[in-house]
């Protein structure tokens, strides 16, 4: 279980990178990006940043563009947070919503052939 300090750092990084995307990287080419989660290593040397990209077809393209700009994002983060060491940023696509959609679709498919219950017998 992560320590309270790690959780605070994760939340701070999530908030600040979200603001960086919104203000400093307001690039229409990237589209709508949401920072969904941040996981920081116990020594705070690395941070995994999970993002959601609205346009599913462009996810890999957007992820590559963000990876190219990760140095810029890290330097912006360094100006905004007061940490002794700003972690190395690694970006990943968060596909949790895809998983939820798939499970939902499977459940609907299972129940598709269910007949409505007749409550008139009661």
Question: Taking residues 66-75, what's their average pLDDT?
Answer: 94
In a domain, 117, yes or no: no
Count of domains observed in the chain: 1
Q: What is d(CA 27, CA 14) in angstroms, rounded to the nearest whole number?
A: 19
Question: Taking residues 98-122, what's their average pLDDT?
Answer: 72
What is the predicted pLDDT for the residue at 105? 79
Is 90 exceeded by the pLDDT of residue 90? yes
In a domain, 64, yes or no: yes
Which residue has better confidence, 13 or 116? Answer: 13
Task: Look up the domain containing 60 and give its range.
Answer: 4-112
Is 70 exceeded by the pLDDT of residue 1? no
In a domain, 120, yes or no: no
Q: What is d(CA 118, CA 122) in angstroms, rounded to the nearest whole number?
A: 9
In a domain, 101, yes or no: yes
In a domain, 17, yes or no: yes
Give 51's DSSP letter.
E
Residue 112 has which token pair?
Answer: 């598709």
In a domain, 122, yes or no: no
What is the predicted pLDDT for the residue at 119? 60
Is 70 exceeded by the pLDDT of residue 2? no
What is the predicted pLDDT for the residue at 121? 54
Backbone φ and ψ for 105, nearest 5 degrees, come out as: -65, -45
In a domain, 119, yes or no: no
Task: Give the domain CATH number at 47.
Answer: 3.30.300.20
Q: pLDDT tens digits, residue range 13-55?
A: 999 999 999 988 877 888 888 999 999 999 999 999 999 988 8
């Amino acid at each position: 279980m992560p320590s309270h300090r790690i959780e605070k750092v994760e939340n701070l990084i999530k908030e600040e990178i979200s603001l960086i995307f919104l203000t400093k990287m307001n690039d229409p080419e990237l589209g709508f990006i949401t920072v969904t989660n941040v996981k920081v290593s116990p020594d705070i040397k690395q941070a995994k940043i999970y993002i959601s990209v609205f346009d599913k077809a462009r996810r890999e393209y957007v992820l590559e563009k963000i990876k190219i700009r990760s140095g810029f994002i890290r330097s912006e983060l360094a100006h905004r947070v007061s940490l002794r060491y700003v972690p190395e940023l690694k970006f990943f696509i968060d596909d949790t919503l895809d998983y939820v959609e798939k499970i939902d679709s499977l459940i609907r498919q299972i129940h598709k052939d269910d007949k409505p219950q007749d409550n008139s017998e009661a």
